[in-house]
Amino acid sequence: MLQPSRTKYRKQFRGKMRGNSKGNLVAFGDFGLKSLECGWVTANQIEAARRAIAHATKRNGRMWVRIFPDKPVTEKGSGAPLGAGKGDVKGYVSVIKPGRIMFEVSGVSEADAKVALKLAAAKLPLVTKIVNRK
């Protein structure tokens, strides 16, 4: 499971998810999985999508994961009273904005790449589309 090796601060604010993403072009591979909406993707969801792509392509070709979960998410313990402060870090998420290329694939046929990326999209909580390199 992905997580930062160290962070400057243990906890972060939730933040806003306005605007479009900067990483919006297929830069490394031939096909990419592009987000159409904003949201958080957890480290477990990234790993599940990565494994789905690796399984569908039978580990042929090359795959790039273009997102990294670097935002800590906290959760209060059950039964914690109001005013008890911020909870402990539960896990890490990646903040996704519209247009972000999350996964890229190359070295496999277009049909295989589309099947693999469609399986990966099913593991993610966002609406996505498959794009070609321009």
What pLDDT is stored for residue 134 in this prediction? 80
What pLDDT is stored for residue 77 in this prediction? 93
The CATH number corresponding to 31-75+88-132 among 2.40.40.20, 2.60.40.180, 3.90.1170.10, 3.90.1150.10 equals: 3.90.1170.10
| Sign of the alpha-carbon dihedral angle for 17, 18, 19, 22 | negative
Residues in the chain where the model's pLDDT stays below 70: none
